[in-house]
Amino acid sequence: MESKLQVVYRLTVPVEEQGAFARALLLEQTVETPEEVALRVPAVRERLMGEIVELEPLEGGGARLALQLPVETAAVDPAQFLNVLFGNASLHDQVLLEDFELPPTLMAHFPGPRFGIEGVRKWLGVPDRPLTASALKPVGLSMDELVVLCRSLAEGGIDLIKDDHYWGDHSFAPFEQRVRRCQEVVQEVSARAGRRIVYAPSLSGTPSEVLRQAEIAQRYGVGAVLVAPMLLGLPFFYELVTRYLEVPVLAHPSFAGAQRIRPETLLGKLFRLFGADMVIFPSFGGRFSYSRATCRKLAEQARRPWGAYRPALPLPAGGMQVERARELIEFFGRDVMLLIGGSLLRAHPGPELTARARALVESVVEAAAALSNSDAI
Amino acid sequence: MESKLQVVYRLTVPVEEQGAFARALLLEQTVETPEEVALRVPAVRERLMGEIVELEPLEGGGARLALQLPVETAAVDPAQFLNVLFGNASLHDQVLLEDFELPPTLMAHFPGPRFGIEGVRKWLGVPDRPLTASALKPVGLSMDELVVLCRSLAEGGIDLIKDDHYWGDHSFAPFEQRVRRCQEVVQEVSARAGRRIVYAPSLSGTPSEVLRQAEIAQRYGVGAVLVAPMLLGLPFFYELVTRYLEVPVLAHPSFAGAQRIRPETLLGKLFRLFGADMVIFPSFGGRFSYSRATCRKLAEQARRPWGAYRPALPLPAGGMQVERARELIEFFGRDVMLLIGGSLLRAHPGPELTARARALVESVVEAAAALSNSDAI
């Protein structure tokens, strides 16, 4: 049991078909041949078949299916891990990936967050209170407009200022120039304010382009980077994190929602497993439709004790209002970074935006002071 | 119009909310700020906002929404293309990516298949008839067992023998050894038979590992490679195809089904756009639930005239039976490669399997002869 990968699927299959479907899915995720073909090879029969651990019909219909799958195939590389977890299974409309548990042998193959919540807090010099973040957008701003925007947010006291995820190496704000100038701004404001403000550029493109951007960004001394793991591919995200990044990484959920994987499992757990220090997700009460329960579970998955992995910092986002800071902190607790873009950016860059950012930061400090010592979630 | 990316979404949103939802989705896929923030910057207002081209309520409920999105953001790199196409939109449960059309300026950024159907046919020396493929599985076979299996299929006359997608660089059949020995077998049988049989190893892992495997595979002279673009990430797939591969590439659908993107658009169109020469998909009548209509459209998307892109060869798979060869050819026509694994592999490796493979090949030849000159689809 301890040496197997345990995966839980939710099946929307009529009760009379569940047994056969479960056996077929077990074959699909392991040997992908008729059972008789697999059984006639001793090494396969003994080590690579997996087994059904639980098949429980659910009240509202469908079933919960737990499989144990062989580590021999899942551990061989990060792409194979995903393949065993949900490769062909994803092609079945009736299957949802609900959750998974790794045995220690498999955990050793994954980095988890390199900084985690504690590391990010140390990095930013904010030991205790909830953190704030905002975004440089819309894409299409000129370099000078970007710089004014970045300065306004930095002077307002926002902890982390990230690129919008639509930024690439655009002619109107080339990557290197963008990084140089935004980083200059946050360093200058940081020096004056006597505390660290982090600028996180968005890395985007093919692997060679992303590695080029990562090198430039780190050379200019950025304090973090933004990456969308599902756009770039999780195996590349793994390599980027384990081999190339020296700074914390924020994971953006772009292209991730379409996966028939529970959001708390994909964003809260898989992204953490692959090394995200901070996980951005669309929170309840914004432009997206994740429920409060989903958001609670997602934050829980990101922060709960899990093997030797550091906790990842949840960043509720996607249409969060400045005025909701207190509510969000009461819900998510101290170990959270509020990522607020549009609601801040309604204010014009310059003194108006700086003041609005400052008001946000103050309301976060107040809300944190009002929190009981235990986290809200 | 000609310089914009046109994207069609299917919305499951009540009719009274469709207008507001469409406007919100347009902002989501472009500037991702409140409209007022975007409008106050002239460069953004003029070039980066996109527009709603069509919003048509559908009879059964929901709506069809066509947006024109700016090429300025979509063209900057392959990851940004996906971001604009379905990045944040994918996080909305009510949105399905139905289809898209590229303007010529954007098409120039993508390779499409390097070989295409004609190139693959030339490569294999099969100008006209439907083609056959099978798989080396289950994972867990020893090197010697793999070689016997590979030889049986090659001697049976199968055109293309691919690794199962669960193969990685396993201790029980290390990548280099597997490639060397399987390639030896197909070369030897090819030489004797006087026609080319292709072995396609599966490339899996992080980008650096996949590039290492690609280099080894091409050094040993393999005739094709198998890759799962959604597992590895489409931007890396793009880079692999445009920079590193000299042989045709088969795209495997693993991890792809979970995307809330119509299968014909994702597998038939996006994979082709990114450079797949051969596209494997779960066909009707097998282990998966794609309908005949979906399979027809998928094959159509893969093969239809489309800009300067070569057609990609469809490989119906996922539980195809040897006995269905004729039916599949009548349905898919000549330009198809039947990928049959388990149904062949029920026969024991050696003379029994060779005979079963040969029977398949003969039935393909017969079915092709019975086809009228026009393709069936």
pLDDT tens track for B142-179: 999 999 999 999 998 898 999 988 888 888 889 999 99
Residues 358-377, chain B: which have Cβ within 8 Å of A?
Answer: none
- Which B residues in the span 23-82 are in contact with A, Cβ-Cβ below 8 Å? 24, 28, 30-34, 36-38, 40-41, 43-44, 47-48, 72-73, 76-80, 82
Residue of A nearest to B163 (CA): A32
**Taking the alpha carbons of A300, A301, A306, A308 in that order, is the dihedral positive or negative?**
negative
Mean pLDDT of B83-112: 84
Is some CB atom of chain A closer than 8 A to the CB atom of B316? no
Position B317 confidence tier, pLDDT thresholds 50, 70, 90: confident
**Per-residue pLDDT, A357:** 85
Which residues in chain B have their CB less than 8 angstroms from residue A33's CB?
Answer: 137-138, 341-342, 345
Asked if pLDDT for residue A141 goes beyond 80, the answer is: yes
CB-closest option in A38, A94, A204 to B79:
A204
**Mean per-residue pLDDT over chain A, rounded:** 87
Q: What is the percentage of chain B residues whose pLDDT exceeds 90?
A: 36
Query: Are B86 and B26 in contact, with CB atoms under 8 Å apart?
Result: no
**For chain B, where are the E strands, in sequence order?**
4-11, 51-57, 63-70, 95-101, 131-136, 160-163, 198-200, 225-227, 249-251, 278-282, 313-317, 337-339
Exposed / middle / buried, residue A357 (Cβ in 10 Å: 0-12, 13-18, 19+) = buried
- Whether residues A141 and B24 touch (CB distance < 8 A) is answered with no
Q: Flag whether pLDDT at A228 surpasses 70.
A: yes
Helix axes B175-193, B143-155, angle to 10 degrees: 30
Reply yes or no on whether the pLDDT at A23 is more than 70.
Answer: yes
Q: CB of B244 within 8 Å of any CB in chain A?
A: no
Its ipTM equals 0.82
Please give, rounded to a whole number of angstroms, the shortest distance from the CA of A232 to a CA of chain B. 5
Query: B287-290, long-range: CB within 8 Å, 24+ apart, which pairs?
Result: B287/A24, B287/A28, B287/B318, B287/B319, B288/A91, B288/A92, B288/B257, B288/B318, B288/B319, B289/A92, B289/A93, B289/A94, B290/B263
Chain A nearest-CA residue for B209? A77
Q: Is A191 on the interface with B (CB under 8 A)?
A: no
- Other beta carbons less than 10 A from residue B369's beta carbon: 8
Percent of chain A clearing pLDDT 90 (strictly above): 37
Number of A–B residue contacts, CB under 8 Å: 296
Q: Residue A1 has what pLDDT?
A: 44
In sequence order, the 6+-apart residues with CB closer than 8 A to the CB of A132 are A157, A158, A159, A160, A337, A338, A339, A340, A357, A360, A361, A364
Nearest by CB: B138 against A31, A86, A206:
A31
Q: Residue holding tokens 């609005």?
A: A356
Of B164, B169, B289, the CB nearest to A32: B164
| pLDDT band per the 50, 70, 90 thresholds, residue A143 | very high
What is the mean pLDDT of the segment spanning B297-317? 87
Which residues of chain A are within 8 Å of residue B254 when distances are taken between CB atoms? 83, 87-88, 90-91
User: What is the dihedral angle through the alpha carbons of B159, B164, B168, B173, rounded to the nearest 10 degrees?
Assistant: -80
Task: Look at residue B1 and tell me whether its pLDDT is greater than 50.
Answer: no
Confidence band of B373 (pLDDT split at 50, 70, 90): low
Q: Stretch B208-223: mean pLDDT, rounded?
A: 96
Nearest to A24 among B164, B206, B287 (CB): B287
On whether any CB of chain B is under 8 Å from the CB of A321, the answer is no
Q: Evaluate if residue B377 carries a pLDDT over 70.
A: no
Q: CA nearest B170 in A: which residue?
A: A76
Do residues A297 and A332 touch, judged by C-beta distance below 8 A? no
For residue A92, give the chain B residue with the closest CA: B288
pTM: 0.84
Nearest CA in chain B to A341: B33
Put simply, whether B84 touches A (Cβ < 8 Å) is: yes
Inter-residue contact A76 to B167 (CB < 8 Å): no
Q: Report whether A256 contacts B93 (CB < 8 A).
A: no
Q: How far apart, in whole angstroms, are the C-alpha atoms of residue B155 and residue B161?
A: 11
SS3 (DSSP) at A232: helix
**pLDDT, tens digit, 9 for 90 and up, residues A287-302:** 777 889 989 999 999 9
Residue B299's nearest CA partner among B325, B324, B328, B323 is B328
The predicted structure's pLDDT at residue A257 = 65
Residue A58, pLDDT above cutoff 80: yes
Give contacts of A 99-118 with B, CB under 8 A.
none
In this complex, do A80 and B236 lie within 8 Å of one another by their Cβ atoms? no
Note the pLDDT of residue A253.
Answer: 78
From chain A residues 139-168, the ones with a CB under 8 A of any chain B CB are 139-142, 145, 164-166, 168
- Edge-first strand order for the sheet with B337-339 is B198-200, B160-163, B131-136, B337-339
Task: Please report the pLDDT score of residue B205 as a whole number.
Answer: 93
Q: Which residues of A are less than 8 Å from B231 in CB distance?
A: 79, 82-83, 87, 233-235
Beta-carbon separation of B140 and A258 below 8 A: no
What's residue B2's pLDDT? 57
Cβ-defined contact of B228 to A79 (cutoff 8 Å): yes
Put simply, whether A308 touches B (Cβ < 8 Å) is no
Chosen from A30, A84, A90 to mutate, greatest number of chain B CBs within 10 A = A90
Going by the DSSP 8-state scheme, the letter that residue A200 receives in this structure is: E
Contacts of A260 in chain B (CB under 8 A): 257-258, 260
Question: Which tens digit of pLDDT belongs to each residue from B65-79?
Answer: 999 998 888 888 888
Contact present, A295 and A336 (Cβ < 8 Å):
no
| pLDDT band, very low/low/confident/very high, at B260 (cuts 50, 70, 90) | low
Mean residue pLDDT across chain B: 87
Q: Is the pLDDT of residue A346 over 90?
A: no
Q: How far is B278 from chain A (nearest CA, A)?
A: 18
Residue B19's H or E segment, with its range, is helix B18-28
Res A289: pLDDT: 72
State the CB neighbour count (10 A cutoff) for residue A128.
8
Q: Please, where are the H alpha helices in chain A?
A: 18-28, 35-39, 42-47, 71-74, 78-86, 104-107, 116-124, 143-155, 175-193, 207-219, 229-232, 234-239, 263, 271-273, 292-303, 325-332, 342-345, 351-370
Distance from CA of A292 to the nearest CA of B (A): 16
Say if the Cβ atoms of B254 and A87 lie within 8 Å.
Answer: yes
CA A371 to chain B, closest CA, distance in angstroms equals 31
Chain B nearest-CA residue for A77? B205
pLDDT band at residue A251 using 50, 70 and 90 as cut-offs: confident
| Mode of pairing for the β-strands spanning B278-282 and B249-251 | parallel
How far apart (Å, rounded) are the C-alpha atoms in residues A150 and A216?
19
Chain B CB within 8 Å of residue A275 CB: no
Tell me the chain A residues in contact with residue B243 when contact means C-beta distances shorter than 8 Å: 208
Tally the residues of chain B.
377
Chain B residues lying within 8 Å of A261, measured CB to CB: 258
Question: Which pLDDT does position B239 carry in this prediction?
Answer: 93
